[in-house]
Structures are given as C-alpha cells and as structure tokens.
Amino acid sequence: MTSRKFFVGGNWKMNGDKKSLGDLINTLNSAKINADTEVVCGAPSIYLDFTRSKLDAKIGVAAQNCYKVAKGAFTGEISPAMIKDCGVEWVILGHSERRHVFGESDELIGQKVAHALESGLGVIACIGEKLDEREAGITEKVVFAQTKVIADNVKDWSKVVIAYEPVWAIGTGKTASPQQAQEVHDKLRQWMKANISEDVANSVRIIYGGSVTGATCKELASQKDVDGFLVGGASLKPEFVDIINAKA
C-alpha cells in the first residue's frame, strides 16, 4: 500500500479581483497548514502571474484550463508553455463546467491532458456524472469512459491527480455522502487496477469535489480512498484552511 499524500486543490473559477485574491493569499500565507498536505490554488488565467508571485512557495498554483498546443492562432487560449513561463506548475483539465458549459469533448480533454503532461505540467483531471446519469444507474459507465480517455493520454501517472466531481453536487449545496464518494473512488481504483496497473491504482490520488465545506470535509477525508479535495466556492473563504487541515 503506497502512502498517498493528501491533496487539496482550490478552484477559484471566474471569481475575485486583485484586492480580494490578495487578501485570500495573505490569509493562506499566514495560515498554519499541515505539512503532510499538498495544496494547489487554481487562479483565473489573467491572475496566474499575480497569484504565483504573491503566494508562498509551499502552495502550488494551477491554471483552470489550457489548450492542446504550445502556440499559434488560437485567440483567447493559453498554452502549457505560457503557464510554465509564469512559474505555475499545474493545470485543471476536464472540469464539468468546461465539459457542460463550454462543450469540451472527451477527445479534446484527452488531447489537452497529453500535451500538458508532455510540457511538464501536473494535471488535475476531472471526471463525474450528471444527476440524470446517476439516477439512470450509469455512474460507473460514465466515469470509467471519462477516465479511459484520460488514461489513454498519460505516460507518467506521478504527475496526475484524478478529481471525481459528481456534477449534481457542484455548487448546488448537495454533497455526495462520504459513502457515495468512497464507493466511486473505490470502483475507480479497481478500474485502474484492471486497466492500467496495480501500482498506478495504489499510488494515484483520487480527490473528491462537489460542495466540499469546512462542515463536510472531515468525514469525507476519513474515507480510505478519498485522497483530498477539489474545492470550489469554499476555496475563496478563510474556511479553506480548515478544509486543507481536514486530515490534521
């Protein structure tokens, strides 16, 4: 059994300005953060440089998306090369808002994962079912298909974190119960064992996202296959520190 370092990502989404994010960064810099937890903040692309320059080096920074090539005529896009040039070491890919608000396909997300990893970025790759899919009983089918497209594009799993985010729980205030989260995380690990390798299944961190708060984080963190969180709204508030320290 490989020990997996607890991982907490904050996804700021399209929120904040220099003043409010500067205040949040000061809070994080002065907070007592469990050294056994890896922390990464996902900043809007226009604030990546600002965030990386202000945030303590012990906290990582992620872009919230990127494109599948290094440069070119792709108006409005950013590349892994640009992200790295800002000193940023992670990118979030395949978030449900990218999939369902902006229509990104599994295929495109797979191509982005491949290029980001080839460029030396760490990838927080998101998967998760919608409410109608869960109600139809096809949760596993959906998340396995999404995971397969990611897996087909990964050579080095040490740079990948899988974020399971049931879409029906994102920003809705509904959280999957700790048992529901554990069940899917366990099934994902079994899928990885069967389709990638036992080593990868045991070492890859599978984190949970979907209305994680200071109130829900401790019980979720106690589940054996929940290796951390991808936090949305609460990552913009001081309670993010409580979530980071859920395992402390």
Burial of 159 (0-12, 13-18, 19+ CB in 10 A): middle
Q: Which pLDDT does position 171 carry in this prediction? A: 84
- The answer to whether the CB of 11 falls within 8 A of the CB of 95 is yes
Task: Report d(CA 82, CA 98) in Å as an integer.
Answer: 20
- pLDDT at 172 > cutoff 90: no
pLDDT one-digit tens code per residue, 53-90 = 999 999 999 999 999 999 999 999 999 999 999 999 99
165 is catalytic: yes
- DSSP letter for 234, please: G
Q: Which pLDDT does position 178 carry in this prediction? A: 95
DSSP string, the chain: -PPPPEEEEEE--S---HHHHHHHHHHHHHS---TTEEEEEE--GGGHHHHHHHS-TTSEEEES---SSSSSS-TT---HHHHHHTT--EEEES-HHHHHTS---HHHHHHHHHHHHHTT-EEEEEE---HHHHHTT-HHHHHHHHHHHHHTT-S-GGGEEEEE--GGGSSSS----HHHHHHHHHHHHHHHHHHT-HHHHHHSEEEEESS--TTTHHHHHTSTT--EEEESGGGGSTTHHHHHTTT-
- pLDDT at 147 > cutoff 80: yes
In this structure, the chain runs to a length of: 248
Question: Can you list the domains of the chain with their CATH numbers?
Answer: 6-245 (3.20.20.70)
Find the catalytic residue in 95, 97, 104, 129.
95
Q: Which pLDDT does position 2 carry in this prediction? A: 57
Find the catalytic residue in 97, 104, 133, 165.
165
Q: Distance of CA 225 to CAs 31, 37, 111, 164, 247, Å? A: 27, 15, 27, 11, 13
115 is catalytic: no
pLDDT one-digit tens code per residue, 180-220 = 999 999 999 999 999 999 999 999 999 999 989 999 999 99
> What is the token pair recorded at 160?
């990948």
